[in-house]
Amino acid sequence: MASAFKRWSKRVVKHPEETVPIISSTAWAQGLFDHPTNKFGAYVLSLFPIVQWLPRYNFGWLSGDLIAGITVGMVVIPQGMSYAQLAGLTAEYGLYSSFVGVLFYCFFATSKDVSIGPVAVMSILVSQIINHVESQHPGVWTGPDIAAVLAVITGFITLGMGLLRIGWLVEFIPAPAVSGFMTGSAFTIATTQIPGLMGITGFSTRDPAYQVIINTLKNLGGTKLDAAWGITGLVSLYAIRYFCIWGTKRYPARARWFFFMSVMRNAFVIIVLTLASFLYNRKRLDPETGKYPIRILLTVPSGFKHVRPPPISTSLLSALGPKIPVATIILLLEHIAIAKSFGRLNGYKINPAQELIAIGVTNTVGSVFGAYPATGSFSRSALKSKCGVRTPAAGVVTAVVVIVALYGLTDAFFWIPMAGLSAVIIHAVADLMASPDQVYSYWRISPLEFLIWAAAVLITVFSSIENGIYTSVVASLVLLLVRLAHPRDSFLGKVTIHQGENGKGESRDVYLPLTKNGITNPHVKVTPPAEGVIIYRFEESYLYPNSSIPNSALVDEVKTKYRRGQDMTNVKPSDRPWNDYGKRRSGAEDQALNLQKPVLHAIVLDFSSVSHIDTTSVQALIDARREIEKWADHPVEFHFAPILSPWIHRALVAGGFGIGNSHSSIPFDLAAVVPYRDGTSFDEVTKGPPSDIESGGDTKEPASPKESESVLEPVVPTNTPFFHIDLASAVKAAESGVERVHDKN
């Protein structure tokens, strides 16, 4: 066994990547390394999660899916038409997006709760994009054509990201950034709907939110009869909501009835307002202008009247080019955030890459039906979850409800008041704004992220949603890079921790910063390491943006507190380095002060937080060692603990660290190894016990306790004596080396 370990130790130093255990034929037989065609088949199969749960579908799931699907369908119909108006399109396009979203998502979903369809933020962005393209190229393309091409392009991008399994990119945008632009967008949407709620016209509602507010206040005198429907509808929506909340608390036994009453409030209010609009407007058509006293939805085409391939052209793609990134970010970010949120809430895990495939396919196919970009809706997903949805098949039920409305109820949609749709939008987007408690939590947890949230909100309100998104994303990435480039570091000392009553139980040594860190008790005494030893902790991966920090910290610490090896007594000022300022003393005084400092022997680097290391950081470590040894005028030991990755091991050995002769008198750390019979090689042990396939069903009996008794081997290779399994071992080795050197002297 000892010889086998030595062979392994040598191989670790020369070729660390070879330390990975060799996979036996058992793994091959079990499919861990299947034939490429089988892997491709498994990959294709993974693109359709429906094949995993549909064969197990049962009537117990059906009831929950029916209730959730019908309920969401009753909500998505008025919302879809409202959001289409918000996007600058006619109402039927919202129904198209609603149908395609809920239907096709079912086949690719890894979330049972998410409902895809028109959403407020994407709708107002589509409106802004249509306005941008039409202002640059007036009369060339219609709004629906622009929206359909935008859907297919953003769908292709997200589909490609999903197929390449790079959905992890959305993780670079933190929750405060998402909340910031969602809050700003919700406020912007609400302000742009107030003129429609009041019937006020005469200015553009596509201006920044603050400008819309100013123009609305200036034109309050122009409020029309539409306000009777709009304000009544908005007040009714909130009244029903709060009545149901009160009723749930007052009569808990009837909580389910109040829940469904609250859910149906959008449909109920729209039906009542539509009936009132019909009764008031049916005999009041102005023959001269052809208009009714209030703005109503008018004709909504029945069925799918705009099914055709999207009119993709290079000129339209060029016009859309600057807006595609922001549309794609909203498409994937809002959906993934919602899917993850409900996955955590309901105890299952979503696949971000597969979710990107789902929204990619939905929008690509939807563009053929005339749909505009759709993504996950927070309000409808929450409703779906509360209704007890069991599988993504609930989306099929919702699609049936939308189809029924699209073919059978379009005549009734004629009389829907536009002010009522504005009320539905305002009521829906209000829930997207961050609550005061949530905002305060951002401030308490991370003030810098709170500033990102505030910046996203302010820029969205005073500029545009597009600029708000870019601001939040860029600021988040900058903060990430700053944290990576300027991590915390500290020099450590030892504290002995006692357990049990009155400290009479077990004790252990821990290592804490020598300076007060605001976390541990400031009155606890931290004992510095033995004279001549430095313990340094770096709390981040050691990469090129931060590689200069440990270099500067170690070199400055050594030059400030440790003895200079070269006697500078007789060195002329002209022979000193130009940047060696020093103090204006005589050479003898300099040397006297220098001799009062301890001699540096070893530096212990705590790598417990270092998971990655690169070429630049290794070179910085080499430069630090060279400069420190030049100052000390003798070799200095560099100890590392623990090494978390074989690549870190490889990189440090390549830089000349870890190997050599140590002054330590501490024996190597030993541990029990896998028991095996005589004659079995070390490589065979790393494979694990043979399988039934390898041995023909007759596996070897495990070694008895007597055979494995006292079989101990070093935990780390013996030819890297400066690599240790933990910090305590590294410090003991370094301090014992100091004692051994002093004894020799």
Cβ(61)–Cβ(391) under 8 Å? Answer: yes
CB-based burial label for 62 (10 Å; 0-12, 13-18, 19+): middle
134-189, pLDDT tens digit by residue?
Answer: 999 998 899 999 999 999 999 999 999 999 888 788 888 888 988 998 899 999 99
DSSP per residue, 258-282: HHHHHHTHHHHHHHHHHHHHHHHHT
CA atoms of 380 and 207, how far apart (whole Å): 28
Q: Which of 274, 314, 318 is nearest to 296 (CA)?
A: 274
Contacts of 237 (CB under 8 A, 6+ apart): 265, 266, 269, 423, 424, 427
Q: Which residues of 293-307 are buried (b: 16+ CB within 10 A; e: fewer)?
A: ebbbbeebeeebebe
The Cα 534–Cα 518 span in angstroms is 22
Q: Up-side HSE of residue 30: CA atoms within 13 Å toward CB?
A: 10
Would strands 507-513 and 602-606 be described as parallel, antiparallel, or unpaired? Answer: unpaired
266, with CB counted inside 10 A (0-12, 13-18, 19+), is: buried
637-641 and 602-606 beta bridge pairing: parallel
In Å, what is the CA distance from 713 to each residue of 4, 433, 484, 665?
11, 60, 38, 18
- Kindly state the helix (H) or strand (E) to which residue 375 belongs, with its residue range: strand 375-376
User: Tokens standing for 39?
Assistant: 């892997």
What is the structure's pLDDT at 705? 47
CATH entry, 489-567+587-674+709-743, from 3.30.450.20, 3.30.750.24, 1.20.1090.10, 3.40.50.1100: 3.30.750.24
CA gap 654, 641 in Å, rounded:
17
Rounded distance between C-alpha atoms, residue 238 and residue 419, angstroms:
16
Angle 637-641-645 (CA atoms, 0-180°, nearest 5)? 120
The CA distance from 615 to 638, in Å, is: 18
| Residue 709, pLDDT score | 56
- What is the rounded (10 degree) CA torsion for 674, 678, 684, 685? 0
CA angle 434, 435, 436 (to 5 degrees): 120
- Yes or no: say if 346 and 144 are a contact pair by the CB < 8 Å rule: no
List b or e across 625-639, with b for residues whose CB sees 16 or more CB atoms inside 10 angstroms: beebbebbeeebbbb
Q: Please give, one letter per residue, the 3-state secondary structure of 450-465.
A: HHHHHHHHHHHHHCCH
441 exposed, middle or buried (CB, 10 Å; 0-12, 13-18, 19+)?
Answer: middle
Cα dihedral: 376, 382, 388, 390 (round 10): 20
Q: Are strands 375-376 and 116-117 parallel, antiparallel or unpaired?
A: antiparallel
Percent of the chain beyond pLDDT 70?
Answer: 86
- Angle, CA 185 vertex, CA 183 and CA 189 arms, to 5°: 120
Look up residue 471 and give its amino acid. T
Residues 123 and 192 sit within 8 Å (Cβ to Cβ)? no
Q: What is the pLDDT of residues 542-556, one digit of tens each?
A: 999 999 999 999 999
Query: What's the pLDDT score for residue 713?
Result: 84
- Do residues 538 and 609 touch, judged by C-beta distance below 8 A? yes
Amino acid at 450: F
Burial pattern 651-679, b for ≥16 Cβ within 10 A else e, equals bbbebebbeeebbbebebbeeebbbbeee
Q: Is 526 exposed, middle or buried (0-12, 13-18, 19+ CB in 10 A)?
A: middle
Q: 671 pairs with which residues across the strands?
A: 713
d(CA 279, CA 257): 30
Instruction: Please give the structure tokens belonging to residue 479.
Output: 């903060």
Helix axes 59-86, 175-198, angle to 10 degrees: 60
As a dihedral over the C-alpha atoms of residue 320, residue 324, residue 325, residue 326, rounded to 10 degrees, the angle is: 100
Q: Order of strands, edge to edge, in the sheet holding 602-606?
A: 507-513, 489-498, 533-538, 602-606, 637-641
638: which strand partners? 603
Contacts of 11 (CB under 8 A, 6+ apart): 18, 19
φ, ψ dihedrals at 313, nearest 5°: -145, 155
Category of 518 on φ-ψ map: left (φ > 0), alpha (ψ -120 to 50) or beta: left
Residue 374, C-beta contacts closer than 8 angstroms, at least 6 positions apart: 97, 98, 100, 101, 116, 117, 118, 119, 122, 151, 359, 362, 363, 366
- 94 by Cβ neighbours in 10 Å (0-12 / 13-18 / 19+) ranks as buried
Intra-chain end-to-end CA distance of the chain, in Å = 39
- Whether the Cβ atoms of residue 97 and residue 144 lie closer than 8 Å to each other: no
Consecutive 10-residue averages of pLDDT for the chain (745 residues)? 50 42 35 54 83 90 92 92 93 95 92 93 93 91 95 95 85 87 91 93 87 92 93 95 94 91 91 94 85 91 91 93 92 88 87 92 94 92 89 94 93 93 92 91 93 93 89 90 91 88 77 86 89 93 92 93 80 66 58 85 94 94 94 93 91 93 83 63 46 42 50 85 92 82 55
Residues of the chain with CATH 3.30.750.24: 489-567+587-674+709-743
DSSP 18: G
Q: Supply the pLDDT for residue 712.
A: 83
Q: Where are the alpha helices (DSSP H) in 264-393?
A: 265-281, 314-320, 324-346, 352-366, 378-386
Chain CA centroid to CA 315, Å: 35
Query: Is residue 536 helix, strand or coil?
Result: strand
Query: What per-residue confidence (pLDDT) applies to 23?
Result: 33
The DSSP secondary-structure symbol of 515 reads S
- Distances in Å between the Cα of 469 and the Cα atoms of 120, 177, 353, 616, 657 are 15, 8, 22, 34, 46
pLDDT the model gives residue 90: 93
* pLDDT reported for residue 503: 65
pLDDT at 698: 45
Q: Is the peptide bond before 573 cis (omega within 30 degrees of 0)?
A: no
